[in-house]
Amino acid sequence: MIDRRTALAGALMLPLAARAEERWDAIVDPRTGTLGKALDQAAAAGGRPFRILVREGVMIEKLTITVPNVTIVGSGRGTVLSFGTYAGLKHPDGNNWGTGRTGTLTVAAPGTTVRNLTIRNSFDYIGAKRDSTGNGAQAVALVIGREADRTLVEHCWLEGYQDTLYVQGRSRIADCRIVGGVDFIFGGAAVWFERCEIVTRYVPNVPEFGYLTAPSTPAVQEFGLVFSRCRLMREPGVPARSTWLGRPWRAGGNMALTGQSVFLNCWMDAHIKREGWTWMGYKGPEGDQRRLTPQEARLFESASRGPGAGPASATRRTLNAADAARFTRASVLGDWNGLGG
């Protein structure tokens, strides 16, 4: 019998034969070349569709996609893009890197497609916690910036601990495995997640195991982080009732942000807390410390299943059938069909 992990790996792997028949503008072998050089070629192409195939191997690179219509396709989970910058590290400009600049891969242009590879932030989060040097431990694997409208990420493995995936541009994330611990899917974009595995990582000697999401959705924006038919999993050692579905992030104390996360028809393992959601602190306009609560934000579920699916409560609100029906791929993505290059 094939176990679920093997089946998932097969599902996330694009057929080699199909890839061999495709046309590529650049092919990267990590043993002899770099993805950065291929992205330089894409930039020189001036925004015309540019397709890059990356063979299996590990690339230690920190990269930004700066021109539109770039497609990057790996050869499976063994195609790894990895780097280890974290927010508290000093940048050459004298300031800290800060969360937004830590991404191993940053998408800063529209029409990007990323398929079939691992994107990892390799910062030693566990070591930093052990040695009490974890201040500024945010370390992003993938940043989808505000300029990155119509980003498609599918059949990928996104790996980090705190702040794995930062989404500020409209995106579709499909058939991916997203691994992290604290606020590891966050941002203000309208994003449609489908058939993804959302995996909470084990960290020794911590009382709670963090938050899956931290949405910073503008109040005027109808849709935020929407998860459809996903599976909420945990690594061995993560205890039952230890993990929040999320908390609303009022970034910079911006009162116009009322984060939205919605889980639709998702299976949840027993690590999810019964209360579901919790508050997040911020500074008010007068500099006073405040809390944005689940009741003030837009945090909902519909048709949750599994041992982590808790009863409805003041903090764990469920959508009625009519409201749940509003959340479709077409409504979240608007005038874009969610397909890429």
Residue 163: active-site member = yes
DSSP 239: P
CA dihedral (26, 13, 302, 315) in degrees, to 10, reads -70
Write down the residue that tokens 């400009």 correspond to: 93
Cβ count near 108 (within 10 Å): 18
CA distances from 156 to 19, 72, 142, 177, 334 (A): 16, 11, 11, 6, 24
Q: Which strands, in side-by-side order, build the sheet including 177-180?
A: 57-60, 79-83, 118-121, 157-159, 177-180, 197-200, 231-234, 267-268
Name 112's Cβ contacts closer than 8 Å, sequence gap at least 6: 65, 68, 69, 70, 71, 72, 148, 150, 151, 152, 340
- Contact status, residue 138 vs residue 163, Cβ threshold 8 Å: yes
Q: Is the dihedral of CA 45, 50, 55, 56 positive or negative?
A: positive
CA distance 287 to 291: 13
User: Which of 183, 269, 288, 335 is the catalytic position?
Assistant: 183
Start-to-end Cα distance in the chain: 35
Nearest in space to 271 (alpha carbons), one of 161, 181, 141: 181
Summary count for the chain: helices (H), strands (E): 6, 28
Is-contact 214 247, C-beta < 8 A? yes
Q: Which residues pair with 143 in a beta bridge?
A: 106, 166
Which of 149, 163, 175, 269 is flagged as catalytic? Answer: 163
* Contact in structure between 217 and 249 (CB atoms under 8 Å): no
Q: Is 93 a catalytic residue?
A: no
Active-site annotation, residues = 163, 183
